[in-house]
Amino acid sequence: MSQDSRIYACRGCEAKNRIFPRKVAARPNNVNCGSCGKPLFLPPDAPLTAIDGSAYQHPLDKSALEMLRKVPGTNTILRFLIRELSERRLRMYFQQAYVKVTPVHLTPLYDHIEHSAHILDLEMVPQLFVMNDPRPNAFAIGVDDPFVVVTTALLDTLDEAQIRGVIAHELGHIQAGHQLYRTALYLIVNLAQFLVGNLIPMRDMALKAIYYALLYWNRCSELTGDRAQMLIQRDYESYVACEMKFAGGCNYTNGMLNMDAFLEQAEEAVKMKEEHILNRVYSSMQAAETTHPYPVWRVGHMSEWIYDGNFLDIIHGTYPARKTADDLEPQESEEDAPSSVKELIGQWRKTLSGK
């Protein structure tokens, strides 16, 4: 990890300030210009105007997405899922089953999503739902008009700053162009099996490749979501405490959880994960049961990012601006998909049309 200092010009008096990211990144809001005393970084309520999701996209997310898009049949399957199991119907389901957050109903939660959308400079504030569920979780669904869901257990486990951070994490997925793939995975894990039976016949190599590439990318995409979370939360310790609670928080442990011990564990975890191919196999095994990566691994990557200075660059106002064209839409046609993918889609069509 980098220990190097970086130079940041004051946005007020233009004096150059030498900054050690490792020292200040935990609480950048308290860092002032050595010359005029004004805050060196953008205030926490200032929008990151026109920021592009690529500004904070994790390299593992990027490379895994490129790999996923090269797996034959992926485009065909995902498009089918999104089109046939339509996101509009899915949204209707959440509207009927769970509690919708509005400016006048569960107002603090609305404030969190409105604030996060403002900072990330999203065009609109996505709909937020609260879902009664004993597992602490949050997710964003939908491609054209995505919405965010948080569970009741998440609200019980985290404090307000952490809840806001997790909501920002979901908006990060939306901004980084993850929604086509994440929504497809949500449909595969939660809905398609229920609707059309055994979705992925695991003996088929083409389908297996798509499924595992999707799961692997999904875990890497969490690292990007976490960075969006940090851009809003701007408090490293609070972020780590949040991840620690996901990993092992409960009434018994909460008072005893130790930040330093957890950070040390995280640094070890990152090294172990990257250094051996078998670790990736274990990751895939883990991913078969959960779509989320280990929290310690996430914290390790977060430390790297903020110590390297990229985080401070962004909140100092230096980042790539939004592109106009969305080039994330994959281009394979159904004709080119492997025959097993075409067969499977044929079966799904029959099931869905009730034949």
In the complex, the residues that contact Zn ion under the rule CB under 5 A are 10, 12-13, 15, 33, 35-36, 222, 225
Minimum CB distance to Zn ion smaller for 25 or for 138: 138
- Minimal distance in Å, beta carbon 181 to Zn ion? 12
The three-state secondary structure class of 243 is: helix
With H, G, I as helix, E, B as strand and everything else as coil, classify residue 132: coil
Beta carbon nearer to Zn ion, 12 or 346: 12
Sorted by sequence, the CB contacts under 8 Å of residue 9 that are 6+ apart come out as 15, 16, 17
| Cα of 217 vs its chain's centroid, Å | 11
Residue whose token pair is 């969190």 = 112
53 phi-psi bin (left φ>0, alpha ψ -120 to 50, beta other) = alpha
Task: Indicate the residue among 76 and 175 with the shorter CB distance to Zn ion.
Answer: 175
What are the CA-CA distances from residue 202 to residues 163, 207, 258, 278 (Å)? Answer: 37, 7, 41, 21
Nearer to Zn ion, 119 or 166 (CB): 166
CA dist., res. 25 & res. 307, Å (int): 7
Residue 146 and residue 180: Cα distance in Å, rounded? 10
Nearer to Zn ion, 36 or 50 (CB): 36
Residue 38 Cβ, how far from Zn ion at the closest point, in Å?
A: 5
Return the number of the residue (13 or 261) whose C-beta is nearest Zn ion. 13
**Smallest separation, CB 33 to Zn ion (Å):** 3
Owner of token pair 């995975």? 185
The least distance separating Zn ion from the CB of residue 11, rounded to whole angstroms, comes to: 8
Among residues 82 and 185, whose Cβ is nearest to Zn ion? Answer: 185
The distance of closest approach from Cβ of residue 85 to Zn ion in the complex, given in angstroms and rounded to an integer, is: 21
Least distance from C-beta 15 to Zn ion, angstroms?
5
User: In Å, what is the CA distance from 29 to each residue of 17, 46, 154, 350?
Assistant: 15, 12, 26, 57
Q: CB of 103 within 8 A of CB of 110?
A: yes
Tally Cβ neighbours within 10 Å of residue 40: 25
- Min CB(260)–Zn ion separation in Å: 26
Give the whole-angstrom CA distance, residue 144 versus residue 221. 19
**Residue 69 Cβ vs Zn ion, minimum distance, rounded to whole Å:** 20
| Gap between the Cα atoms of 53 and 239, Å rounded | 20
What lies within 8 Å, CB to CB, of 40 at 6+ separation is: 8, 10, 11, 17, 19, 28, 31, 32, 33, 316
Between 12 and 201, whose beta carbon lies closer to Zn ion? 12
